[in-house]
Amino acid sequence: MAATVTKSSGGRRPGYGSLLRTPGAWTFLLPGFAARQPFAMLTLSIVLLVEHTTGSYGTAGAVAAATGVSMALFAPQSGRLADRWGQAAVLVPGVLLHTAAVALLTALALLDAPLWALFAAAVPAGASVPQGGPMVRARWAALLSGDTGGSGDSDASGASGASGATDASGASDAVHGGPGGGRGGPSPLLATAAAFESVTDELTFVIGPVLATALCIGVHPAAGLVAEGALTFLGGLLFAAQRRTQPSVQHAAGFSRGAASGSTAAGHGAGKAGGSSGPAVRSGRRAERPASALSVPGVRVLAVLFLGIGSVFGGMQVSLTAFTEEIGHPGLNGALYGVFAGGNMLAGAVSGAVACRRPAHRRLLIAYTALALATSPLWAVDSAVAVGALGLLVGLCIAPALVTGYTLVESLVPATARTEAFTWLTGAVALGQALAVTASGRLADGFGAHAGFTVPLAGTGLALLVAVALRTRLEPALPGRVVARGVDHRRAAAVD
């Protein structure tokens, strides 16, 4: 059942308390938090272990990059399969494969296996990283629009199974991201949910790297990967077991490449109850194969921006590690990265509590410009205090860009492809992080930690240039306009 939310007087955004009182939310939030730990722990744990066994940041960064690249390539496919067959059907085998691959990579590193063997184990370890964050975001979007249906499927005619059935106005709102009922536009809780998830992501990036560093330095170089595998196994399986809150499975629904007419649910029968947010199916025929979320131009631009954000995460991880080694205080690495991630978490919390009248696509460009500027002086500072202060500033600038980018997905992408869209963005962060880890590692080995700090500046600067050139593609369509092939955003008439 959709959560009904009314904006408070003065146009203030509903707070986190209203969001967390949404029925069913806690059943997936707690296991989802554990399930997303791999994204925060995996790269740094690999860097610390492989650098310990090989003595090279460049080699360690290359192995870590292999996991990031494979994750970036396979994560969107995982998201698309989850949209089509259900999250549990994808998550359970993925968790088992990831746990086995991480165990193999750990063993090979400790046995001083050749580099090719480390790469061979790193690829499946990255490809099978559970997409906890995107799946939780998809559950929020479904829960707030009444599109949860457990294991219930949607047939070709658009009728939804289990509790995920919606009427014609609800189907329209599923596309717009609003709650069932359809007359108030997007649910005000969607932006709050996006901010909450950004805060949760950053909390994992506060806990994950600090935990990985503490375990690898204080217990054993392999302890970080062991803990990552254990958290993945337990959290992933517990999250997969929460089937009631997963988005309705839609085997034949979606937005097809060829449905350019933009007709809504079930052709001329769009007003009948039980309509879906997917495209029309004419004369009882099955819908065309759903197009990828990447066919939406705005998603491609967002992916470039998130690629730049990934370069900040990867560049900061390796460069901070190298910097603390250079100044003779390696134990400061976790603290400095925690300050950076803490700034991100603080800004995310504020972003969720404060409503802004400026359109989201404009806020995104402003926030991203601030991020690029904040990374520019990192390479020039020498003291740990200055690096910590600048890291805090960079962290404060990341969250507004992340929150706004994820919020835009709700208005750019229909419900039938949101998990895939979220995984494209998460995969872009992972790819940017992987490339930055490799580049920063090589620069740190050859020229020192200060050279590694230039990577975040280069990544965000290039991404900002692309976003400015293609900024019109980030503008959500007004009602009545088609924004993707076969997706109609005209409002359906309510039927008594």
Instruction: Write the pLDDT tens digit of every residue in 447-466.
Output: 888 898 999 999 999 999 99
Judged by DSSP in three states, 256 sits in strand
The β-bridge partners of 484 are: 487
Is there a contact between 229 and 103 (Cβ–Cβ < 8 Å)? yes
Alpha-carbon distance of 248 to 340, in angstroms, equals 37
Identify the pLDDT of residue 374: 93
466/444 Cα distance (integer angstroms):
27
* Strand bridging mode 482-484 / 487-488: antiparallel
Instruction: State the CB neighbour count (10 A cutoff) for residue 115.
Output: 12
> Which DSSP state fits 472?
G
The two three-digit tokens of residue 8, written as one number? 């408070």
pLDDT digits (tens, 9 = 90+) for 418-449: 778 888 888 888 788 888 888 888 888 888 88
Closest CA to 381 of 373, 391, 371, 372: 391
Tell me the DSSP string of 301-338.
Answer: HHHHHHHHHHHHHHHHHHHHHHHHHHTT-TTHHHHHHH
Q: What phi and psi, each to the nearest 5 degrees, are found at residue 354?
A: -110, 125
DSSP 39: H
Partners of residue 250 on adjacent β-strands: 154
Give the three-state DSSP class for 71. helix
Q: Where do we find the tokens 């200060």? A: 450
Which residues are CB-contacts of 161 (< 8 A; sequence separation ≥ 6)?
Answer: 149, 151, 152, 153, 154, 155, 248, 249
CB 138 within 8 A of CB 91: no
Give the model's pLDDT for residue 458.
94
If we measure between CA atoms, which residue out of 273, 455, 265, 473 comes closest to residue 376?
455
CB neighbourhood size of 151 (10 A): 15
> How many whole angstroms separate alpha carbon 317 and alpha carbon 353?
29
Virtual CA dihedral for 304, 315, 345, 139, nearest 10 degrees? 40
Positions of the chain with pLDDT lower than 70, given as ranges:
1-14, 146-188, 202, 206, 249-291, 351-356, 415, 477-496
In the prediction, which pLDDT does 124 show?
Answer: 93
Note the pLDDT of residue 390.
Answer: 92
| pLDDT computed for residue 116 by the predictor | 93
Strand 249-250 versus strand 153-154 pairing type = parallel
pLDDT digits (tens, 9 = 90+) for 346-376: 887 776 666 667 777 888 899 999 999 999 9
Looking at residue 147, its pLDDT comes to 60
**Alpha-carbon span 24 to 424, nearest angstrom:** 26
Quick one: which of 492, 39, 35 has its CA closest to 269? 492
Q: How far apart are CA 52 and CA 32, in angstroms?
A: 31
Instruction: Answer yes or no: are the C-beta atoms of 198 and 348 closer than 8 Å.
Output: yes
Residues near 98 by beta carbon (within 8 Å), at least 6 away in sequence: 38, 124, 125, 128, 129, 130, 229, 232, 236
Lookup: tokens for 71? 């994750």
What is the dihedral sign for C-alpha 341, 344, 350, 355? negative
Helix, strand or coil, per DSSP, at residue 476: coil
Tokens of 418: 């949101």
Q: What's the CA gap between 36 and 38, in Å, rounded?
A: 6
Q: What is the DSSP string of 130-174?
A: --HHHHHHHHHHHHHHT-B-TT-EE-TT-PPPGGG---HHHHHHH
Please tell me the distance from the alpha carbon of residue 5 to that of residue 18, in angstroms, as a whole number. 8
